[in-house]
Structure 1
Amino acid sequence: MGGIRCAVALLLLCTTLVDVAGRATAAETPFGFPDVLEKARTLARQAFTPPPSVPEFWQRVGYDQHRDIVFDRGQALWRDAGNFRVELIHPGNVYKHTVAINIYDRAGVSPVPFSPSLFSYGPSGLRDKVPHKDFGFAGFRITHPLYRSSEWNHVLVFAGASYFRPVAKNQVFGLTARGLAIDTGLPSGEEFPSFTEFWLERPTRDATSVTMLALLHSPRVTGAYQFVLRRALAAGGARLRRSADSQRQR
């Protein structure tokens, strides 16, 4: 694909991921999937720019040190109402690039700013190493009460490159899926597209679904994604429907 970049629009609908009866509702918003698709098309016509990298020090942080950094659940997004909450993931260790995270609703789009006060750094001693400028996030987790109303369980995780993992009631997290894989197993080496920005639709108090939009970028491909996480309409495993449309740009 030398000299060719491809803009890809993907619509992924994740149904019955959460084993709770209900029906999804969506509020009309001034921002939506067509806006992300247009961003992807614009990027496809431009020279590739790598996503922001975290400082070298944070790339060398060990697994145990990074694991000591815990998000403060008392500051979860949407914690005051609704069936879904968002927990943010700190960059560093294997998460060498940051992503921008935004919230959108009828009032418009608002970026989620990074702050070390969102996290407990435990015995890692790393809080003083956080850059003063906006650091960004490695990704996020969606939580929902799977078993008890007072217990918020992780049901969907986006973190690193284009990796994501959903889980349903009475299941455990399995293999990680990817938004896109390019040149896997080829001698030339694999290209790893990355999600670079997310827009999370603020759900209403009684919403039974949450919508996430994502922009994907790599040297040869840009992509616009829409993920919809729903409460289960019936007991059972997850079903995934996907449709794709692509546009190539020279």
Structure 2
Amino acid sequence: MSLSRQTINRRKFTALLGASAITFNVSAAFAQSGDQPSISTVGEGMPFSINAVSDLARQLSKKPFVPPSRNMPDVFANLNYEQYASIRSDSSSFVWANENWGFAIEPLHRGFVFSNMVRLYTVEDGVVRRIPYDQKRFSFGSLEVPPNLPEDLEYSGFRLHSKEDQNFTEFAIVQGATFFQAIARGQNYGSIARALTLKPADMRGEEFPVFKAFWIERPTAGSNALVINGLIDSESTSGSIRLTFRPGEMTIVDVEMTLFPRAALEHIGIGAIGSRFFFSPNENKKFDDLREAVHDANGLGIHNGQDEWLWRPLKNPESLQISQFMDKNPKGFGLIQRYRDYTAYRDDSRHLEKCPSVWIEPLGEWGEGVVQMIEIPSDAEINSNILTYWRPGATIAAGSEVTFNYRQYWCWNLPERPQLATVTSTRSGKGSSNRRRKYLVEFSGDNLTEPAIHELKADITARPGSISNINIWRYTDQKTIRVTFEMDPGNENASELRLVLMAGDKPASEIWLYRWTA
């Protein structure tokens, strides 16, 4: 499903922004603009090589960071949402719209929270061509816009369209800080990726790197791959990124990022995904809402270096929660939208069952570190209050060079799924005494059939706390097992729960993890 400017509404739009809650300071994240780096070596008419942007980022890292300014014509400087949404462009104005390359680029105007100035180029036959600002690309609704805007106004980002049956279908958007999104065929936008995350939830304040410029390589005719090279800059580091988009039933994005730190990077996020989790049936609703659930993803999935599959249901917590899952050379992780039926949400506006799952698959060894997840309390459904990413264990030294390669899958179902039962539902409610909580965890899978299903045991732990009243309900015809139990935290105010179905000494399910807090 394409989300054009004509169809997008306020709730969808705000969700695209990424995170008023997760960033703690949304204006700082999006209100960055300013002088472009010296890019004459890869400017108009210059030859382009695969290392051109990395070389530029390396040079930039040796110079002091220059904070971006916020210069923009007054008419765009203080737009509200409705005014910005009224700025539209027609498909006939897209770059390559009238050429047979299979893709088209829709430059996006600056304004509203998108004040960051981004310079756009194409690479055609090995030569760099600038996409100059062109006022004629846009209609401005009721805005009183001067007839001759400055040519150096530049853009705030772009949308990507692929051509199918002579029509353009949107499949990705790159706009704001280092944020970008993609969707598979038939999906709606949901979670949002960050190319680079620095010091999230840090008491000293999060640092927001920005995209400064892009070089978009013109594809060959009939190709289903679009390559985008980007320049990243921030106080602590500069960097280059190469994104290869392959849209379709599953949209795949290959990411190659090289960083050139100006300062030691102690807390960095790689493969970061932001999402929104407002409420679900996991626990009693805190909100008076007619829908069944509101979330763009409902769980964190991890395939760790020990070949274990972990499932952690997401929560909208009462207080800030930071979770770390230690690992070495992870095989994959992501934020997953597991419920695909309309009745799980009953949301006629956004159809949340169509939001993509986003899976990160490291390419090469990432060493030791943690999959870190931040869950932030939210009292408004527009907030993207979940953030997960890989945090390397070692500090990245100033003056060094480090590369991270990984593959993103924006999908309906994961590209690789374990031959194990998976968690299909998590519920909790009041237990048999004041502090006790009762849980119901449902597993489903093709391996839950006769006679194996009757041999399975539930291995459950609480740290701290104790587990009692365990019951296992087997439904062979549905290939489902439901486990109920009670957790008593004693006098503690937090407990980490773990549940896995065991067949002898081998796991028959993914590992369910859950954090209870008072």
Equivalence for 1:205: 221
Alpha-carbon contact 1:30-1:108 (below 8 Å) kept: yes
2:167 is paired with a residue of what secondary structure? coil
2:51 is paired with a residue of what secondary structure? helix
1:227 and 2:243 correspond? yes
Distance, in Å, in 1 between the alignment partners of 2:131 and 2:258 is 30
TM-score normalized by the length of structure 1: 0.79
- Match of 2:223, as an amino acid? A
1:136 and 2:286 correspond? no
The CA deviation string for residues 15-38 of structure 1, in whole angstroms up to 9 with x for no partner, is xxxxxxxxxxxxxx9413311001
Greater RCO structure (CA 8 Å; 6+ sep)? 1
How big is the alpha-carbon RMSD for the aligned residues of Structure 1 and Structure 2?
A: 2.2
1:116 to 135, 146, 153: 135
- Match of 2:106, as an amino acid? E
How far 1:135 sits from its partner (Å)?
0.4
Equivalence for 1:62: 80
Distance, in Å, in 1 between the alignment partners of 2:66 and 2:148 is 24
Equivalence for 2:168: 152
List aligned pairs for 1:31-180, cutoff 5 A.
31-51=48-68, 53-55=70-72, 57=74, 58-80=76-98, 81-125=100-144, 127-128=145-146, 131-145=149-163, 149-180=165-196
Alpha-carbon contact 1:54-1:92 (below 8 Å) kept: no
Distance, in Å, in 1 between the alignment partners of 2:72 and 2:240 is 28
- Greater shift in the superposed pair: 179-188 or 201-210: 201-210
1:216 and 2:226 correspond? no
Equivalence for 1:186: 202
- Greater shift in the superposed pair: 48-57 or 178-187: 48-57
Distance, in Å, in 2 between the alignment partners of 1:240 and 1:202 is 17
- Note closer, same or farther for the CA distance 1:106–1:115 as it changes in structure 2 (3 Å cut): same
1:123 is paired with a residue of what secondary structure? coil
- Note closer, same or farther for the CA distance 1:43–1:73 as it changes in structure 2 (3 Å cut): same
The CA deviation string for residues 159-192 of structure 1, in whole angstroms up to 9 with x for no partner, is 1110100111121111211111111111111100
Number of positions where the alignment pairs a residue of Structure 1 with one of Structure 2: 216
Distance, in Å, in 1 between the alignment partners of 2:178 and 2:165 is 31
How far 1:105 sits from its partner (Å)?
2.0
Equivalence for 2:37: none
1:134 is paired with a residue of what secondary structure? helix
Alpha-carbon contact 1:66-1:124 (below 8 Å) kept: no
Gaps of 5+ in 2: 1-45, 261-397, 401-518
The CA deviation string for residues 36-69 of structure 1, in whole angstroms up to 9 with x for no partner, is 0011100110011234534273231111111111
Equivalence for 1:22: none
- Greater shift in the superposed pair: 199-208 or 86-95: 199-208
How far 1:107 sits from its partner (Å)?
4.7
Alpha-carbon contact 1:115-1:134 (below 8 Å) kept: no
Bigger radius of gyration: 2
Gaps of 5+ in 1: 1-28
- Note closer, same or farther for the CA distance 1:120–1:246 as it changes in structure 2 (3 Å cut): closer
1:122 is paired with a residue of what secondary structure? coil
